[in-house]
Structure 1
Amino acid sequence: MTVALQDSVSIRPLDPSDADALAVAYARNRTYLQPWEPIRPDSFYTAAGQHERLSASLAERTAGRSYFWAMFDGSELLGCISLTDVVRGAFQNGHVGYWIASDFQGRGLATAAVAFVASFATEMGLHRLQAATLGHNTGSRKVLGRNGFTEIGLAPEYIKINGAWQDHVLFQKVLHG
């Protein structure tokens, strides 16, 4: 299901047929994204590598553990957002992660996409969303703040980003009281 996100930009679930577009977007933004992401093997930037990832993501979506969407301006894939590590039971929690192509920064797309995922998570009955960002990623911190996330602490050496274990600031948004 495709949903209008902002102006000509739409958001919809990713599936294996998006492998080519996703590989092109990642390859085009490889240098831009490198400081914010894990080091990726060269195969990650190929259609075959993305097809493998997207095929695996279908099983995660079917199991209700992870959901992956892409934002498009026409046929151009300009970013992705995910709701992963969904835990039910007493926790009712999930993690949000996202990226926007370098040439689409500053247009409010990440803010709109996070709002979309928060609404989706609310409809799923989740109680809380979490997100983590590098401390110096002021843009991402603003996106989370605009969506009602609050800072809950610092996680030392939380995720291996760009080849080094890096501290992350943790955020949460409580969806239900």
Structure 2
Amino acid sequence: MNIPAEMLPHDVQLRIVVPDDAEALYRAQLANREHLRPWEPRRAESFFTVRGQAERIEGQVEEFREGRVVPWVLEKDGAVIGIITLSGVVLGPFRSASLGYWVAADQQGRGLAGAAVARVCAIARDIVGLHRIEAGTLLDNHASQRVLEKNGFDPIGMAPRYLHIDGEWRDNRLFQRILHDGPPPGH
């Protein structure tokens, strides 16, 4: 799958993650560790190392080749300032994936998450060939809910004890966006 890099507002590049991103992702994860703690699963200390990030990227690159994941970084001036990922990509008659993302603490409030989600939705429709994208947020993550709603995601329910986040099973508000109503390719 050929997904070209694109520019977002504020000279931020949205591009597919590559193995050479390990050092920059390590720095981003370390710098945002406390900022992301309430929204992420607990991570082993090895996650917060260059090697840990290299292993993560290695897995994502393999899954990307197999069409199961589409992993992007948001990069500004050579630094990773966020990530956005389509995971659990399923084609066939379902043509769906799950969306996850974060933006660095010092880059919040600039519209970057919204711009990245908008571009990823267009790429998911036009290049990946998806029909729908789903996303979940913790019930109190109002900023992420606003990003999704501004990008055409509709709330579809609440999932009790949906994800193990920051050491406990947490409820999630679920959203979806239907990207088109055309038939799957080849039909």
Does TM-score exceed 0.5, indicating one fold? yes
- Counterpart position of 2:180: 176
The aligned amino acid for 1:104 is: Q
* Superposed CA offset, 1:17-50 (max 9, x none): 1000000000000011000000000110111000
> Which of these residues, 44, 67, 71, is aligned with residue 64 of structure 1?
67
**TM-score normalised by length of structure 1:** 0.98
- Counterpart position of 1:161: 165
Q: How does 1:19-34 map to 2 (within 5 A)?
A: 19-34=22-37
Q: How does 1:1-177 map to 2 (within 5 A)?
A: 1-123=4-126, 124-177=128-181
**TM-score normalised by length of structure 2:** 0.93
User: Structure 2: which 5+ runs fail to align?
Assistant: 182-187
Cα drift, residue 2 of structure 1: 2.4
Q: Partners of 1:66 and 1:138 in 2: how far apart?
A: 26
User: Structure 1: which 5+ runs fail to align?
Assistant: none
Q: Secondary structure at the match of 1:64?
A: coil
Q: Secondary structure at the match of 1:35?
A: helix
Count of residues in Structure 1 that have an aligned counterpart in Structure 2:
177
Q: Partners of 1:83 and 1:47 in 2: how far apart?
A: 23
Identity of aligned residues (%): 45
The aligned amino acid for 1:127 is: H
The runs of 4+ residues in structure 1 deviating greater than 3 Å are: none
Q: Partners of 1:13 and 1:43 in 2: how far apart?
A: 23
RMSD value over aligned CA atoms?
Answer: 0.7
Q: Secondary structure at the match of 1:7?
A: helix
